Amino acid sequence: MAVGGFTKLPGGTVVVALGLPHPTCAELTVRVVVHAVNRQRALTRLSNLGFRGARLSGNAEPPTPDEVSAVLHHPDGLVWRDYHARGTDPWHPISVLNRVTPHS
């Protein structure tokens, strides 16, 4: 089960953040942040990208202000980085997730 959470923005949209297995290296976890009209639409976007098991249960790890800012400033509204990344590590567009070789 994915650990994550969401926050509702003043305009009514939501930002969902989830810790999910890396698609090419299941023992690694990535933090995926998505901006969408609602939580279900956010999960559908992730499912369409191959994260079939993405479910949001509760709000244990809602997106941080840094995560909200990063996803709102990205044209696709969908970013990721290593789950254990430092706050200064860059966010990446979701389009490069399968092209990045995970480091141990």
Residue 104: band (very low, low, confident or very high) from pLDDT cuts 50, 70, 90: very low
Taking only the tens place, the pLDDT of each residue in 3-26 is 899 999 999 999 999 998 887 777
For the cut 80, the answer to whether the pLDDT of residue 43 exceeds it is yes
The confidence band for 103, taking pLDDT boundaries of 50, 70 and 90, is low
Return the domain boundaries, the chain.
3-99
pTM of the model: 0.87
pLDDT mean over 39-62: 86
Write the DSSP assignment of the chain as a string of letters.
--EEEEEE-TTS-EEEEEEEEETTEEEEEEEEEEEESSHHHHHHHHHHTT-TT----S-SSPPPHHHHHHHHTSTTSEEEEETT--TTSPPEEGGGGGGSPPP-
